[in-house]
């Protein structure tokens, strides 16, 4: 069997075990294959093994691979930092954006989303550990950003995305994900909305994320192997 197909099966087994432990349905959690720096052939191998959602971080690299795989019915997610002068191809060519952390970017994505396409699915990236150097909206500014994004006609606000500080300690991993879930609960209550997406959990911490309610886990290394 192809190595990528094999690894996908191993990740699938982890997802099943983690969802069972959390008393959740397996199908309440989507697997996003994070394919940054991987060649199109690796995405093709994952696609052939049944994977349909792919996440990319670097715009030009993503567009090159999209072009090569144009015949495939892939759901494309942009998950990397966004320069505000490069929003148009994201608005035109992606189905989801997980890394929106400021209003200017959201406004441009909405204005540039083609009328022929459904509204762009958006997660707000939250700087959950409040690290000075990290991207993501500060928790204290999340509500105002969410309100402004909700008013943009060509975006569909779906939820939050977080990248906690890496940790090997399951308790510490879980604490950051708890915070994300609580922030989303608060938003839903105070704004009377129903955000349904928590994009959290990667190769090293997907079990903790699923225990805290992740609905999309973003896995790179454990599907495609280590990146250079």
Ligand X SMILES: *Cc1c(COP(=O)(O)O)cnc(C)c1O
Binding positions for ligand X, rule: CB under 6 A: 34, 36, 57, 79, 163, 202-204, 218-222
- Pick the closest to residue 8 from 44, 39, 51, 41 (CA basis): 51
With respect to ligand X, which residue has the nearer C-beta, 83 or 118?
A: 83
What the block records as the tokens of 172 is 């510490």
What the block records as the tokens of 202 is 């990667």
Q: Is the dihedral of CA 194, 196, 198, 199 positive or negative?
A: negative
What the block records as the tokens of 151 is 């008013």
Minimum Å distance from CB 116 to ligand X?
A: 28
Minimum Å distance from CB 218 to ligand X?
A: 4
Minimum Å distance from CB 33 to ligand X?
A: 9
Minimum Å distance from CB 176 to ligand X?
A: 14
- Pick the closest to residue 223 from 25, 22, 49 (CA basis): 49
Separation between Cα atoms, residue 149 and residue 170, nearest integer Å:
33
With respect to ligand X, which residue has the nearer C-beta, 146 or 219?
A: 219
**Residue number with the shortest CB distance to ligand X?**
220
Separation between Cα atoms, residue 3 and residue 93, nearest integer Å:
29
With respect to ligand X, which residue has the nearer C-beta, 46 or 219?
A: 219
With respect to ligand X, which residue has the nearer C-beta, 5 or 193?
A: 5
With respect to ligand X, which residue has the nearer C-beta, 135 or 147?
A: 135
Angle at 132 between CA 126 and CA 134, to 5 degrees: 50
With respect to ligand X, which residue has the nearer C-beta, 36 or 154?
A: 36
Minimum Å distance from CB 9 to ligand X?
A: 16
Check residue 184 and report its DSSP letter: H
Minimum Å distance from CB 151 to ligand X?
A: 26
Separation between Cα atoms, residue 102 and residue 152, nearest integer Å:
13
């Amino acid at each position: 069997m192809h190595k990528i197909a094999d690894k996908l099966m191993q990740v699938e087994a982890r997802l099943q075990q983690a969802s069972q432990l959390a008393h959740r349905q397996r199908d309440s959690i989507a697997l996003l294959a994070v394919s940054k720096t991987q060649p199109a052939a690796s995405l093709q191998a994952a696609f052939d093994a049944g994977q349909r959602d792919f996440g990319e971080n670097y715009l030009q690299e993503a567009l090159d691979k999209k072009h090569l795989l144009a015949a495939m019915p892939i759901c494309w997610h942009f998950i990397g930092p966004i320069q505000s002068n490069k929003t148009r191809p994201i608005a035109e060519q992606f189905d989801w954006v997980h890394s929106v952390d400021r209003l200017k970017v959201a406004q441009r994505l909405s204005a540039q989303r083609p009328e022929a396409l459904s509204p762009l699915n958006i997660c707000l990236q939250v700087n959950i550990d409040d690290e000075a150097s990290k991207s993501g909206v500060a928790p204290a500014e999340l509500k105002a950003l969410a309100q402004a994004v909700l008013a943009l006609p060509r975006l569909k606000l779906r939820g939050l995305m977080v990248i906690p500080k890496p940790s090997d300690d399951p308790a510490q991993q879980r604490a950051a994900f708890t915070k994300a879930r609580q922030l989303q609960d608060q938003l839903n209550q105070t704004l009377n909305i129903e955000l349904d997406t928590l994009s959290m959990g990667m190769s090293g911490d997907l079990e903790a994320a699923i225990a805290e309610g992740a609905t999309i886990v973003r896995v790179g290394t454990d599907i495609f192997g280590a990146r250079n």
